[in-house]
Chain A
Amino acid sequence: MAELLLELFSEEIPARMQARAREDLVRLLGDKLRDAGLEPKSIKTFATPRRLTAVVEGLPARSLNVREERKGPRVDAPEPAIQGFLKSAGLKSVSQAEKREDKKGDFYVAIIEKKGRPTSEVIAKAVPEIVRGFPWPKSMRWGSGKLRWVRPLHSILCLLDGKVVPFEIDGIKSGKETRGHRFLAPASLKVKNFKDYAQKLRKSFVILDGEERASRILKDARALAAKHKLTLVEDEALLAENAGLTEWPIVLIGSFDEDFLGVPPEVLTTSMKAHQKCFSLRRKDGKLANRFVVVANLKARDGGKAIAAGNERVIRARLADAKFFFDQDRKVPLEQLVPKLKDIIFHEKLGSQYDRVQRIWKLARELAPLVKADPDLAERAAILAKADLVSGMVGEFPELQGVMGRYYALEQNETPSVANAIAQHYKPLGPSDDVPREKVAIAVALADKLDTLTGFWAINEKPTGSKDPYALRRAALGIIRIVLENGVRLPLRRFANQDLIAFFADRLKVHLRDQGARHDLVDAVFALGGDDLLMIVRRVEALGKFLDTEDGEHLLTGTKRAINILRIEEKKDGRSYDQAPDPNLLQRPEEKALAKAVDEVEKAAASAVAKEDFAGAMSAMAKLRAPVDDFFDHVTVNADDPRLRENRLRLLNRIRGTTLTVADFSKIEG
């Protein structure tokens, strides 16, 4: 069993592209090898700023012979069809095809035999194809060449069991050499196999495995922080980025002037992270320290003094900029910024952010009573909610939108609930983000998202397939989560048209499915035409529990049977049977019992539903199980007497009608 080692050595690969590139390389190599009949035991990939590496283990020395039969046209098929078949199967004439016979007559079969090939041959063909077609999010040409890669590709190391697999891509010949760290060990290294490769790289100041680099950074940064009696503000994305920017990560600590601590901590952390890729540190009391951790790519001769000092200087300038924005912004009341929102186009057909704010505050007022918020505060918060978009700080750091508005509002003595609403109205930002919890914030958050959705619906810009440029799915999911997690009763129909409500139904299904609920139950409840997400979910929960009981299971079977019979008979007769059954035509005791039961159950279930007691409605429904079972066991629906038949169909219709009090059982699977 052979080992394949492949390294694509290039100029610096953007950190954010490395993880995807590793996945793509696994997939592409795997596909190519398997297509050639080579099944590897494992494929592992690695990425550093300068290399993308794969090691494939357990490769056979050559691929197996493959015999494939391809069925062709009938022997009397038109000539072009036969010629096309021969061409596609690689045959010169019909004499090379076999004739076979089936019920319809004779037809041609091509026998395609693929001889096994040496694995190195397969690889020599596969790797250039992979390199030429590699799905980088952005790729480029360089020099006078035609090849595209993420950045100029310099060399390719390709060894199968220690031997170079020879090929050439746009003038780059495969070989057995690589290089170490750009500055610490730039000389060329000859490599024998993967183990030798990883070891030699480590000696040359390159840690091949990005996860190892990340864990080393984390461990060292924690220790360095602890040494200074501080704790590291951990940030997974920042950690991964630093691991993607270094081959030999060394953490260093630096400091900045304490005066900057008067700037909100979010600003300091964002500035250090966004511009300098540095970590923040916290003191024992939880407050931000005037220190930072920077990850360098080498162990410097002077122990990192110059590097730390250089970073300190840049951070000082950055924080001075941030402090300048903060001080400038605070000189202008948020309210005075609102008219400037006219300059920010939200969407050409939906007007400016100012236009949005005018719509949002009205909506927020209307929503306020539904969430028990003070309408005046909701209006105030909505008016100020977007003002920080034209502040200097948010211009510099868009990710601080809302956060800055809150600080500025507090400074200007706005009510705390108004200030908090400014910060929270964008929430939840994703499935793992919290929803707003304060009433005013809930009103504004709902208004913001509803305005977005109704606006884009009005101009017919809905998400399609994977395309959702305005994040409308996220907005709808946000509303769903805010409503459910805060127990808000939101009559959607007051704010949304039927199509948009259907979109909510879809998103709700996805949301509930993610939480393990059955999507068909959502359909069954939505079919009743409700528009109150909270009640719909409560119904779905109660329905789910009921269907898990024996009564529920039986009633579902019985009801579906009733619905099926009705559908068939109604279609046959071209009429419906929605009149009440005639009590005088009820003959058998099971019929009489059922007629009585549907009336009682319907009344009980309806009254429970009116009280929003869905569990109660389901218990009432359970009482229908026995009469329905008995009815089907003992009564023939399609009686010879047409009057009896009609009456029994009417009775079936009553079962359908009664169950509709809680859900449309026809939409439930099973």
Chain B
Amino acid sequence: MSLTKTLPMAAPRKNKSTKPKGTKTLSFQDLILRLERFWADRGCVILQPYDIEMGAATFHPATALRALGLKPWRAAYVQPSRRPKDGRYGENPNRLQHYYQFQVILKPSPPDIQELYLESLYAIGIDPKNHDIRFVEDDWESPTLGAWGLGWEVWCDGMEVSQFTYFQQVGGFDCDPVAGELTYGLERLAMYVQGVDNVFDLDFNGAPGKDKVTYGDVFLQGEQEYSRYNFEAADTDKLLTHFRDAEDECKALLAKGENGDRHLMVLPAYDQAIKASHIFNLLDARGVISVTERQAYILRVRDLAKACCAAWLKTEAGGNAHG
């Protein structure tokens, strides 16, 4: 297979801007800053992205692990999400193999969580009396995390702008109290707010004239290169070895961290589970995992995630007080 694909994406596009009227266009980075400010003002810890590749912000230990246990927890953060299979060599105006999610996790979920979420939309300039904001059923399940919850996709004028989930279980353990998770698809939201049809046209920095930087300026080359890597170049033998290494290390760390009714090394072990999950996604994109094997791999990652969650519940942050 050739390493260069030059097929132009022929999506018909109208140039007429459809951005919401009466709002000053937010740049991509301003959108993030506004959301961070908004949730910081509501008592959230503003975290920085986790430094390991992952498929969704839910994998961040600030969500996946902190959702378990009795301790209250409120956090918000941006997380790059990698979905190797979604790469389109930068040719599709809507699909990316690397994109950003803005994640909010509130435990226990407050009674006014829907109102808080809607206020965050107002804060980025969406007027609820001029737009059609809807909560459309969408049950969430992560087979690799052994997690599920009920909630909605949030639609704004037919566009899915967020996922809204009440976690019921993570790693096979009941979430009690229940955490509410809000996941904003930042590119989509920005495309909506800016009224652009191609993600690469997003105004990234809001600077005027030739100082303006677009999303494409920042990420187009990456989309092209990583698509080649994900689909064509990644060494599958090495990936298979990495998968096994991560799996083995995760189990080894979980064993070494056992200390009576406590656990002393959950977070390093969980890092390995995240790695295994991402390597599996890469192998999947490379097309070397058959349909039957697929399920087996998912179960192997889930076993790691479950074991980490069980260990987490034996830690201080997981709610196990000394004594």
Contacts and interface: CB of A to CB of B under 8 A. Distances in A.
Contacts of B292: 345
Given A300-B132, A307-B132, A320-B12, A140 B157 contact: no
Given A140-B150, A320-B12, A312 B18 contact: yes
B137 A310 contact: no
Contact of B114 (A11, A15, A259): A11
A142 interface: yes
B135 interface: yes
B129 A140 contact: no
B28 to A, nearest CB: 18
Contact of B18 (A14, A313, A320): A313
Interface in B93-125: 93-94, 108-111, 114
Interface in B9-29: 11-14, 18, 20-21
B176 A313 contact: no
A512 B197 CA distance: 56
Interface stretch (A290-298, A590-598, A659-667): A290-298
Contacts of B290: 343
Given A183-B128, A314-B158, A316-B197, A11 B135 contact: yes
B277 to A, nearest CB: 22
A138 interface: yes
Interface string B215-232: 000000000000000000
Interface in A326-359: 343-345
B42 to A, nearest CB: 16
Contact of A313 (B21, B137, B151, B197): B197
Contact of A302 (B130, B149, B156, B180): B130
Contacts of A306: 18, 20-21, 130-131, 157
B139 A138 contact: yes
B11 A276 contact: no
A243 interface: no
B135 A310 contact: no
Contacts of A138: 139, 150
Nearest to B11: A320
A11 B156 CA distance: 17
A143 B130 contact: no
Contacts of B168: 140-141
A296 B177 contact: no
B158 A310 contact: yes
Interface in A105-141: 138, 140-141
Contact of B135 (A12, A294, A311): A12
A463 interface: no
Given A314-B159, A317-B197, A183 B166 contact: no
B136 interface: yes
Interface in B120-166: 127-137, 139, 149-152, 156-159, 166
A315 B149 CA distance: 28
Nearest to B111: A143
A16 interface: yes
Interface string A268-302: 00000000101000000000000000101110111
A301 B139 contact: no
Given A143-B178, A317-B93, A245 B134 contact: yes
B192 interface: yes
B232 to A, nearest CB: 18
Nearest to A321: B94
Contacts of A183: 128-129, 133
B241 to A, nearest CB: 25
A309 B18 contact: yes
B1 interface: no
Nearest to A309: B18
A154 interface: yes
A152 interface: yes
B129 A310 contact: no
Interface string B166-181: 1010000000111010
Contacts of A320: 11-12, 93
Given A142-B178, A300-B129, A345-B292, A294 B18 contact: no
Contacts of B321: none
A144 interface: yes
Nearest to A138: B150
A585 interface: no
Specify which of A12, A142, A302 lies most central, judged by the most chain B CB atoms within 10 Å of its CB: A142
Given A141-B176, A314-B159, A317-B93, A297 B132 contact: yes
A298 B132 contact: yes
A300 B131 contact: yes
A296 B131 CA distance: 9
B18 A310 contact: yes
Given A310-B159, A320-B11, A343-B290, A296 B137 contact: no
A257 interface: yes
A142 B93 CA distance: 37
A362 to B, nearest CB: 25
A216 interface: no
B98 to A, nearest CB: 19
B301 to A, nearest CB: 20
A324 B93 CA distance: 12
A257 B12 contact: yes
B12 A49 contact: no
A344 B166 contact: no
A184 interface: yes
A317 B291 CA distance: 29
A345 B137 contact: no
A16 B151 CA distance: 14
A151 interface: yes
B127 to A, nearest CB: 8
Contacts of B157: 306-307, 309-311, 314
A220 to B, nearest CB: 15
Contacts of A143: 108-111, 177-178
B94 to A, nearest CB: 5
B131 A307 contact: yes
A584 to B, nearest CB: 76
A301 B109 CA distance: 32
B21 A302 contact: yes
Contact of A245 (B93, B136, B139, B150): B136
Contacts of A317: 11, 93-94, 197
Contacts of A324: 11, 92
Contacts of A15: 137
A11 B115 CA distance: 11
A343 B291 contact: yes
A16 B137 contact: yes
B18 A49 contact: no
Interface in B242-289: none
A263 to B, nearest CB: 12
Contact of A142 (B12, B18, B159, B166): B166
Contacts of B13: 316
A337 to B, nearest CB: 15
A345 B11 contact: no
Contacts of B158: 276, 278, 294, 307, 310-311, 314-315
B108 A144 contact: yes
Contacts of A12: 135-137, 152
A294 B110 CA distance: 33
Interface in B169-220: 176-178, 180, 192, 197
Interface of B: 11-14, 18, 20-21, 92-94, 108-111, 114, 127-137, 139, 149-152, 156-159, 166, 168, 176-178, 180, 192, 197, 290-292
Given A144-B108, A301-B130, A343-B291, 14 more contacts: A141-B166, A143-B110, A257-B14, A260-B12, A301-B127, A307-B132, A310-B132, A311-B158, A313-B18, A316-B11, A316-B197, A320-B11, A324-B92, A345-B292
Of all A-B residue pairs in the complex, the 8 with the closest CB atoms, nearest first, are A310-B157, A14-B137, A12-B135, A311-B158, A309-B18, A320-B11, A144-B177, A296-B132
15 contacts: A12-B136, A12-B152, A140-B150, A143-B110, A144-B178, A150-B150, A257-B12, A259-B12, A297-B132, A298-B129, A306-B18, A307-B130, A316-B14, A316-B197, A320-B11
